[in-house]
Amino acid sequence: MKCVRCWRDSASVIAKAPDGSGAWEVYHCTTCHFTWRDTDEEEVTNAKKYDARFRLDKRDFDQMRVAYPIQPTK
Amino acid sequence: MPYADLREFLGVLEREGQLVRYSAELLPEPDVGALSCAAGELGATAPAVLLDNIKGYKGKKVAVNVHGSWANHALMLDMPKLSSVQSQFFELVNRWERYPGQVEWIEHAPCQEVVIDRDINLYEVLPLFRIHRYDGGYYLSKACCVSKDPEDPDNFDKENVGIYRIQVQGPDTLGYQVATFHDGGVHFQKAERRNAPLPVAICLGNDPMLSFMAATPIPYDQSEYKFAAALKGAPFALTKCLDFDLDVPAFTEYVLEGEVLPGERVVEGPFGEYPGTYSGVRKQLLIKIKKIAHRRDPIFENLYIGRFWTEHDQLVALSTSLPLYKEVKESIPEVKAINAIYQHGLTAIVSTRVRFAGFAKRVAFRVASTPHGATFCRNIIVVDEDIDPFNLQEVMWALSCRVRDQRDIIFIPDTEGSVINPVAAKSGGMDRKLIIDATTHAAPEEELEDIVLIEPSEKVPAFKTLLLNLQKAGAPSTPASQSPACRGPRAGGAK
């Protein structure tokens, strides 16, 4: 399924309510690691209503800072 | 010390009216984050909250706002819950000298009563919730992360316990933000240079004194466990991890055992951070969880962090001020106290005796050169010893009446800073320092020499006590008979 944040087709169900109530499902995107629950607010679950300031596109991925550059091994 | 772990501390809070049990059904989002935020905004006696009815996680327990007020902070120190901030600061100053405290190891520890070693799904084991609406996912915001120096693994004092932000990502993977200057970051860099994974134990639901120390910047070769023991005045109980040579609190609620993987970086963030703003999205370290151990009926503890005043602000308030004070005091004994409770010490207020002209600048430069102050203390205000730096009314008076002009204000551009602070984020963490000298100047500076401070009457303290007692008793005042000035029998032989 499509990720709410990066719009890549790399999201899927990662968990269901563990008490067996069927209260919710959690989805996880393996590209940008955005995670949401189907009971989240619509601003979080609906890609069209998701705040554009938090969206990730190709440019964001290309320019993303690496907090720890990978170090050469000895 | 009246508690040995988180559970017993929650009992202390409940007896003191500092715990609310909340059993009405809540949605994970936005309810639990909103409730956590609300609890922290309830002021100096804000309570901790224990939840047990989160939709989909029914029966699982969540504790929030455990450190979230000065009252809870005082109870953590086993002090009366209305103890002043200043008295809590100086109590910690005194207990600091007890370091090192004792640690002990126990077998069959409660934290390993239940073990999960297959089909790990963190979303089902932990009652996770999104803290802020635009967080990238669910964060562990109060986890004590334990790791060892890979080049000196038998040195217990170099084993680090730190609170670093963690984003739950895959069912058994975590994004891990630990800065390069943090001890946990040093451990990882040493491991990665050997292309080796770094074992890490993530402990959730801890003795509040350990969380306090895990949030305290101390030297690389000093032990958070021994410090927690010193501050509590009792040995700190540990046990060994099941799969790794790591020491974890025997009475912690959950232990996630895993490894930080070399050569791997994952997209992480954003997360609503301590300046009250969302951090950016960056590539951070990756942890793979191998095993979970937990107590029976475990309590998941998490922390609200965001726009002030939050449990995070409370947790790091004196834990930031104290090491700064200790370091500065060592070389400048004239320093009386340091209040660095604002956003991890981005602003610090120092009170000092002024020994000679320019002395306040010496103090400020020393604060700015401590390991924590170098990165965080971007606004440094220096006041005289007659000012309580924890009393902002007094500090504002000093700013109003003791700062002359540009001679008392120093601006240093292009210093190091915190990349999480939005004003330094775009420059990759480069910041500036602002120093304000709000002290009275000593010779040869002469401008304030003819200023005469008003000295209150020596009777003022006695009257303060009297008024407070009257207020407490709710009794009508009879000034003539109860005046501190009337110590003998009343004239006229009144009965």
Q: Where are the domains of chain B?
A: 83-307, 316-438
Partners of B192 on chain A (C-beta within 8 Å) are: 70-71, 73
The CATH number of the structural domain formed by B316-438 is 3.40.1670.10
The DSSP bridge pattern shows strands A35-37 and B409-416 to be: unpaired
Partners of B123 on chain A (C-beta within 8 Å) are: 14-15, 26
Q: Report the residue of B267, B277, B292 to disrupt the A interface, i.e. the one with the largest count of A CBs within 10 Å.
A: B267
The predicted pLDDT at position B475 comes to 60
Distance CA B437, CA B278 (A): 32
pLDDT digits (tens, 9 = 90+) for B7-30: 999 999 999 999 999 999 999 999
Say yes or no: A11 contacts chain B, CB-CB below 8 A.
no
3-state DSSP percent of chain A in helix, strand and coil, to 5: 20, 20, 60
Q: CA geometry: angle at B63 spanning B204 and B87, to 5°? A: 90
Q: Which of B27, B124, B280 lies closest to A39 in CB terms?
A: B27
The predicted pLDDT at position B306 comes to 94
Residue B268 Cα, gap to closest chain A Cα (Å): 7
| Cβ–Cβ < 8 Å for B206, B301 | yes
- pTM: predicted TM-score of the whole model, two decimal places: 0.91
The predicted pLDDT at position B495 comes to 32
The topology under which CATH files domain B83-307 is Pnp Oxidase; Chain A (2.30.110)
Residue B218 Cα, gap to closest chain A Cα (Å): 22
For chain B, give the mean pLDDT. Answer: 93
Residue B455 Cα, gap to closest chain A Cα (Å): 55
| Cβ–Cβ < 8 Å for B395, B374 | no
Q: Average the pLDDT over B435-464 and give the result.
A: 85
Distance of CA B96 to CAs B6, B323, B382, Å? 22, 9, 24
B281/A34 CB distance under 8 A: no
pLDDT digits (tens, 9 = 90+) for B256-310: 999 999 999 999 999 999 999 999 899 999 999 999 999 999 999 999 999 989 9
Please name which of B408, B357, B354, B418 lies closest in space to residue B380, comparing C-alpha atoms: B408
A33/B266 CB distance under 8 A: yes
Give the count of Cβ contacts less than 8 A between chain A and B. 123
- Answer whether residue A49 shows pLDDT above 50: yes
Q: Average the pLDDT over A21-38 and give the result.
A: 98
Say yes or no: A63 contacts chain B, CB-CB below 8 A.
no
| Cβ–Cβ < 8 Å for B187, B159 | no
Query: Which residue pairs, CB below 8 angstroms and at least 24 apart, start in B177-184?
Result: B177/A67, B177/B268, B177/B269, B177/B282, B177/B284, B177/B285, B178/B145, B178/B285, B179/A67, B180/A68, B181/B371, B181/B375, B183/B158, B183/B220, B184/B145, B184/B147, B184/B160
Taking the CA atoms of B438, B444, B447 and B450 in sequence, report the sign of the dihedral they define.
positive
